Amino acid sequence: MNDLDQFLRDNRPSAPEEGQFLIETNARLNAVEGLKKTVDTERRFGRRALVLALVAGLILGCLVTAFVLLCPVVHPAWMESGHLATTLAFLQARKIYFLLPTAVFAIALGVRLVTKKA
């Protein structure tokens, strides 16, 4: 213990004046507060952008789905025969079974991403 005391007495670190130390500490704290405000602002902006993208995607997806379901598709002559025609007819007759789960999955994924906490 005496060696440690002697070492500390011999090697005193120089401390800045008390006023200068407080000024520097306050400046550093202000810089940290500024960074916190900037990060919080960017997070809020990111969340708003994510919600806006979700809403825009939902609206656009609903509009495109309604358009696809309500408007018939015109097929060129080369698509009217063969396996491609039977495949297209099969898909056309059962398109709701493909579009509905896809839409539900997309909506669920969007809601999950918005509500997920970091």
pLDDT cut 70: percent of the chain above it: 83
Q: Is residue 76 part of a domain?
A: yes
pLDDT for the residue numbered 24? 83
Rounded Cα distance, 54 and 61, in Å: 10
Judged against a pLDDT cut of 60, whether residue 27 lies above it is answered with yes
Q: Is residue 25 part of a domain?
A: yes
pLDDT for the residue numbered 56? 92
Whether pTM exceeds 0.75? no
Rounded Cα distance, 45 and 65, in Å: 30
pLDDT for the residue numbered 75? 59
How many domains would you assign to the chain? 1
What's the domain range around 108?
Answer: 15-115
Comparing 8 with 98, which gets the higher pLDDT?
98
Q: Is residue 3 part of a domain?
A: no
